[in-house]
Structure 1
Amino acid sequence: MLGLAAVMVPVPQFPTSHAGTIRVGAVQGNGPAAYVDEHEPGAVPESQLAASAPLEDEQVDIVLWPEGGVDSDPLADEATAHALDDAAARYDAPILLNAAAADGHLVYNTSFLWTSNGPTAAHAKRHPVPFGEYVPDRWFYGALVPSPVDLLEREYAAGVDTPAIEVDGVEVGLAICFDVAFDDVIHEGAHSGARVLMFQTNNADFRDTDENLQQLAFARMRAIETGRSVVNLSTTGTSRYSPRTAPRWPH
């Protein structure tokens, strides 16, 4: 599923004035993105690339992919990096993508702003989900219930960088998955000068539940709370664009 949105880039009230637009190509690939899905390596980004193909004939400022849209570390996998370079060149726009990426011995849930010349900015998820993205006190819970604990092989570390990137002079606030529920992430992005918010999530593990609608409700409230336009994008389920006009953000 492909979405195109001309997003208002607002300025603080009061009063407000028009400050231009940013054109976002938001792509929901609907691939096998769940943690438990069986698939060939590369199947997830292939689904994103296939869904993004119409953007080659569009004029966009940024291509937005969901959390987990790339299933290998693009910093470590040369073939993945080349494929992303080529895709960004075809869209004539950077891709805001997400993947598990290593930094030394630590692994982060990381969003990259990827251009035809590779990544130019990154943000790592601030609040990994316990028992979903890491197991706290794994030694203890592993002794109690080893089978389910052993199923979760990943151990994401918590990011510390600012949840914002700059796209062609426009500051974009970020939140990865349920970081949308944490005030510190949203407030820091807004205080850093973000004029639009882009939320990436992967709801594939929550099929047949209302989790994606709950998360969408958070995103809508963040649009109201901050006065920023929001693009909330998932691998599956419900993705949405919420336009808002920005009030003055309190200091």
Structure 2
Amino acid sequence: MSADKKIDFVLQFPEGNFLIAGGTPYFHPEGSDKAYLGWGEKKELLGKFHHKIETRAEEFKKYDLTYEVEDGELIAARLITPFNRSAGKLADEATVAKLNDDLENGRLELKGRARPPHITRAAKFGDGRLLLLVDGLKTESRHTLLVGTPGNYEEIGLKNGIQGGSSFYYKTENDTDLALPYGNGETPQYGNEYLAYIPVDNAQDLAAFGVDFTAPDPHLDPFCKEMENRKPASAPGKGFTR
């Protein structure tokens, strides 16, 4: 994601910095070689920008980043939660140049939106084997098809596929047709075998189905628990006081 990006300016807050690249904010923890996309709703009015960004904080679900920059000068910047409001300042040109050099030479990465692996469809064969269509298990492809029993799955390669609404239709690498329709009473089919759908209560709980995978690194934001754990002991509640 970083190759075609350029950092336009940097907003510095007590909770951390935001790199603004092409109008998109990326949260940059101090000393980190990664900056994380601030995902959410964006509004612009007469040069004023308002981002309502999702957070993994336990106390609230979204925070607000607002700023106004005119002719290279910062008019105002605020980082707002239900518990606190912080003022930001503009980083100097040397800081921005250093970050762009790091970005260009691979010492800094702009991370896109994190999508934890999750089970899109789960079904059972007549002999008890399971079929799982997993989203996000591999970076090079959207879906991974697993067939087998918990802890003993075989990955079946997927070739051509189409999606119609919430239904998925694939042809595997061994030319077997996979149909995972979504609708009342529709039955999944793998080759000549009909399956029965299995309800998935928590799509991200791959361990419940015995899928062995390496969890991705957490997508950081200023108020997630990982950043709370980084705060010095002398300031345990920083950013959350009224």
Q: Which TM bucket (shorter chain)? A: under 0.3
Higher helix residue share = 1
- TM-score normalised by length of structure 1: 0.21
Which has the bigger relative contact order, CA under 8 A and spacing at least 6? Answer: 1
- TM-score normalised by length of structure 2: 0.22
| Greater C-alpha Rg | 2
